[in-house]
A and B are shown apart, each in its own frame.
Chain A
Amino acid sequence: MRWLTDRHSLRRQLTLAVTVLVLLLGAVSVTGAWLIFGDFQRRVTQQDVRASVEQLVAAVQKNPSGIYLDTARIGRAYKQPLSGEYFIMAGEGWRWRSLSLWDEDLQLPEDTAIGNFAVLPGPGDQQLIALSKSFTRHGQRFVITVAKDYRPLHREVVRALVILSAGWLIALVVALIGLNFWILRSLRPLDSARRQVAEIHAGERQTLDAPVPAELVPLIGEINRLLDETRQALLRSRKALGNLGHALKTPLAVLTVLIERDEVRAQPELHASLQEQLWLISARIQRELAMDKAVPGVLDRFIPGKDLPPLLNALEKAHHRPLAVTLNIPENLSLPYDRADIIELLGNLLDNAHKWAQSRIDVAMRREAGKWLLVVADDGPGISGNEQRARVLQRGQRLDESVTGQGLGLAIVSDIIDAYGGELAFGDSPLGGLEVRVLLPARAAVSPV
């Protein structure tokens, strides 16, 4: 229910809006109903009282003894004690009371004019609406007052209003449930779009094609355009870097060959100096160009089954040594890393292994604590002692001395590992020589939410 407190939550905004709207409409309609029903109730009651007055007047009869009230013509309620319907008829010298009044009396408010309705408390908890009218009948003048308990009708009205209010509350609940359901449904494509963006990031996909509501299509389109432009820009920049590197390599190649001329070799110090500087330049270029720098959305995976054999073949052709290479790699393995980067990484490590190994090289790949572990081990002399190992690594990384190809290879290897946020470690191989362990973080296809 985090969204309830998040001010920017769409869900919260819509929920509040709908709640306010429904409550407002409900309040308005209930109030309206209250007013209308109240009015209705008052009129009906007044109507009823007037009708009763007429009825009672009609019940006044004359017989030879004088006027009397024909009880057969008056409603039964007037004969039942405290029924809620009462009358008083008062004439000259006489006063009739309905039986229902029992021993109570009707006390109309003082300022009530004849012919106007009045409200007064009745017996018990009754609330009466009363009307007094004067009549002349059968030569007699009299005033009749009828009072009725309006509570029953009032109760009905209240009941109706309560039902109406309940109805609005149910409507509110239904509306909110429906709203939340629709919001979640509408937002689900965004979730799928988010997953797709993560896939693009991991290089497993090139564009977004999540089915989204029409309102979001322009946004998705813009994102795809942006992705494409970024990719193109990165490719261009890589190409430019590559072109620069290769353009420099050609004159460097000429220089490197030129300094081996006898005239230059005849001056050993000059020769050594030139050699060193040229090597530094070419090593730097080599190192920069070695990083393929994977482009998002374009992942050419490294598949050991497919990509290792040609590499091992290349190494064999380069070294011409009868070494036994053992592979300890899960079948059908496909590493989630750029193919060229891993080939460069393994190529350099295996190149070193080929240089130093006596007869055996082991290559292993496996998952370790959610990461990928690549191990290259040989049965050569190894590098003993942590200090020595640290120095080799450092020397490779610094490249400020004219070291052999081994230094440059390791420098490239650590560049690649750094770019992937991985780790490099030296160890003792069970074969007796050096074991190089490369730990690469796993690339999740979907980033955790």
Chain B
Amino acid sequence: MRLLLVEDNVALADELLTRLRREGYACDWLVDGRDAARAASDEEYDIAILDLGLPGKSGLEVLKEWRSLSISLPVLILTARNSWSDRIEGLEAGADDYLGKPFHPDELVLRLRGLIRRSHNAEATPQLAVRGIVLDESRQQVVGDPVIELTAGEFSLLRYLMLHPDQLLSKSRLNEHLYSLEAERNSNVIEVFVSRLRDKLGSGVIETRRGQGYIFRGLAP
């Protein structure tokens, strides 16, 4: 999942990025509102965390600009302005969730998960259950007997696949959504992860369409 973090406090951003990457998000970090306004059109993000007090352009302005360009990216506002009237203002400007500072990082992770699930028409439950596979996001495991451990890369890929069941996902799209701007994108890595997942879960779980991409099928009903 591709995440855009727009936050001008370096210390906070540092901590958040560490935690979010651990949760399997491919994160890009911006500080200036003007850059953020452009970034959402340039890249395919799955979710954005937006601070309001930004240099260059305020978070609300950035959000309004995104929405006016029909960018329907789920946005969580993360801000010190925490009164109900501020909250209403943020939501009316097009935000999908609003979290006040200071906050518990676990809370942030939960909210992000909820936003992502809902934007993919899935329930915001702790475990993601799709087509017979149950993925525990907090532990990055597949639930079952025995529990199946996943590496960070496998987990990210599986989660993305499970949120787009029965959809044809090209390699380039998968690259777009699983790797941040900084990361090196090697299309072979995806292939490797797919084959590993097949090893762990079953070969029918992910279907290959030669030259086109992959489809998540899950386990037979």
- CA–CA, A343 to B82, complex, Å? 12
- CB of A63, distance to nearest CB on chain B (Å): 130
Inter-chain contacts of A314 with B (CB < 8 A):
84, 87-88, 91, 98
Known interface pairs A253-B102, A317-B91; A286-B82 also in contact (CB < 8 Å): yes
Interface residues of A in 266-308 (CB under 8 A from B): 278, 282, 286, 289-290, 292
Are B16 and A257 touching (Cβ within 8 A)? yes
Are A311 and B84 touching (Cβ within 8 A)? yes
Q: Which of B11, B16, B83, B92 contacts A310, CB < 8 Å?
A: B92
Inter-chain contacts of B118 with A (CB < 8 A):
320
Stretch among B59-67, B103-111, B152-160 lining the A interface: B103-111
- CA–CA, A389 to B91, complex, Å? 33
- CB of B36, distance to nearest CB on chain A (Å): 18
Are B91 and A250 touching (Cβ within 8 A)? no
Are B104 and A256 touching (Cβ within 8 A)? yes
Inter-chain contacts of A348 with B (CB < 8 A):
84
Known interface pairs A257-B12, A260-B106; A317-B85 also in contact (CB < 8 Å): no
In the complex, B32 has a CB within 8 A of chain A: no
Contact with B along A336-357 (1 / 0, CB 8 A): 0001100110111000000000
Are B15 and A254 touching (Cβ within 8 A)? yes
Are A250 and B104 touching (Cβ within 8 A)? no
Least CB separation from B92: chain A residue: A310
In the complex, A76 has a CB within 8 A of chain B: no
- CA–CA, A249 to B91, complex, Å? 21
Are B84 and A255 touching (Cβ within 8 A)? no
Are B104 and A344 touching (Cβ within 8 A)? no
Inter-chain contacts of A254 with B (CB < 8 A):
9, 11-12, 15
Inter-chain contacts of A339 with B (CB < 8 A):
85
In the complex, B80 has a CB within 8 A of chain A: yes
- CA–CA, A286 to B82, complex, Å? 8
- CB of B182, distance to nearest CB on chain A (Å): 22
Inter-chain contacts of A313 with B (CB < 8 A):
88, 91
- CA–CA, A313 to B101, complex, Å? 21
- CB of A373, distance to nearest CB on chain B (Å): 20
- CA–CA, A313 to B80, complex, Å? 21
Inter-chain contacts of A289 with B (CB < 8 A):
82-83
In the complex, B196 has a CB within 8 A of chain A: no
Are A249 and B84 touching (Cβ within 8 A)? no
Inter-chain contacts of A260 with B (CB < 8 A):
19, 104-106
Q: Which of B9, B11, B83 contacts A290, CB < 8 Å?
A: B83
- CB of A160, distance to nearest CB on chain B (Å): 83
- CB of A415, distance to nearest CB on chain B (Å): 13
- CA–CA, A261 to B88, complex, Å? 32
Extra pairs beyond A246-B80, A313-B91 (17, CB < 8 Å): A245-B80, A252-B102, A253-B80, A253-B103, A254-B11, A254-B12, A258-B15, A289-B83, A292-B83, A310-B88, A311-B88, A313-B88, A314-B88, A320-B114, A343-B83, A344-B84, A344-B85
Closest 3 CB pairs of A and B: A347-B84, A249-B80, A253-B101
Q: Enumerate 23 A-B pairs (CB-CB under 8 Å) in ascending A order.
A: A245-B80, A250-B12, A253-B9, A253-B12, A253-B101, A253-B103, A254-B15, A256-B103, A256-B104, A257-B19, A258-B15, A260-B105, A278-B102, A310-B88, A314-B88, A317-B91, A318-B97, A320-B118, A340-B83, A343-B88, A344-B83, A344-B84, A348-B84
